[in-house]
Amino acid sequence: MAGSTSHIYPKIIKRMYAIKHLFHIAQDRQAVNAALSTREGLASWWAADTRGTGALDSQLSFHFPPHASMEMQVVALEPGLAVSWQCLSGPAEWVGTRLHFRLDENEGKTRVRFAHEGWQQMDDTYAAVTFSWARFFESLRQYCQTGQGTPYHAPAVAAQ
């Protein structure tokens, strides 16, 4: 093509990053799925103040006062297999990211493959969120295996 400069100026592609975790839970997929796709389940291991139903195309909100709140849209829901959300509002770094939970059976346990995709950079926030997901996934495991998770609760206000 005469006069084209596309060979001189290649397209710039913005690199995106993902947080990934892989872990096993000694519980069947249906129970793990319920913990990932219902308000009651999510409030039992991630954010005690969780609002919404978890139904496909619905919105879930998660509140971590005084730090942050996030609104997610449920964009995929395959019972016993997968749950995906897109972050609609919350901390700037989270907005537009997608969260995927994929479930399968492995050696009599439920294997969870998690990806939190769309991070713009691998900075301190990325590192802190990576660490926090690991902590909350242990809460998820405990909730599914024992019925007792350790979700985020708002700090108690001291009586004056």
Please give the residue range of the domain that contains residue 48: 19-146
DSSP 9: S
The strand pairing partners of 50, in sequence order, are 62
Query: Which amino acid does the sequence have at 151?
Result: P
Q: Per the domain annotation, does 4 fall within a domain?
A: no
Question: Under 8 Å CB-to-CB from 57, ≥6 apart: which residues?
Answer: 73, 74, 75
Q: Per the domain annotation, does 11 fall within a domain?
A: no
Q: Under a CB-based contact definition with an 8 Å cutoff, are residues 35 and 47 in contact?
A: no
Q: Under a CB-based contact definition with an 8 Å cutoff, are residues 112 and 32 in contact?
A: yes
Q: Per residue in 15-65, pLDDT tens? A: 799 999 999 999 999 999 999 999 999 999 999 999 999 999 999 999 999
Give the CATH number of the domain where residue 133 resides.
Answer: 3.30.530.20
Question: How far is it, in rounded angstroms, from Cα 142 to Cα 35?
Answer: 11
Report how many domains make up the chain: 1
> 3-class DSSP state for residue 40?
helix
The strand pairing partners of 103, in sequence order, are 112
Q: Per the domain annotation, does 9 fall within a domain?
A: no
- Reported pTM: 0.88
Q: Per the domain annotation, does 105 fall within a domain?
A: yes
Question: How far is it, in rounded angstroms, from Cα 35 to Cα 45?
Answer: 8
Tokens of 115: 């990806």
Q: Per the domain annotation, does 50 fall within a domain?
A: yes
Q: Per residue in 57-90, pLDDT tens? A: 999 999 999 999 999 999 999 999 999 999 999 9
Q: Per the domain annotation, does 110 fall within a domain?
A: yes
Q: Per the domain annotation, does 14 fall within a domain?
A: no
Question: Cα angle at 141 between 47 and 105, to 5 degrees?
Answer: 125
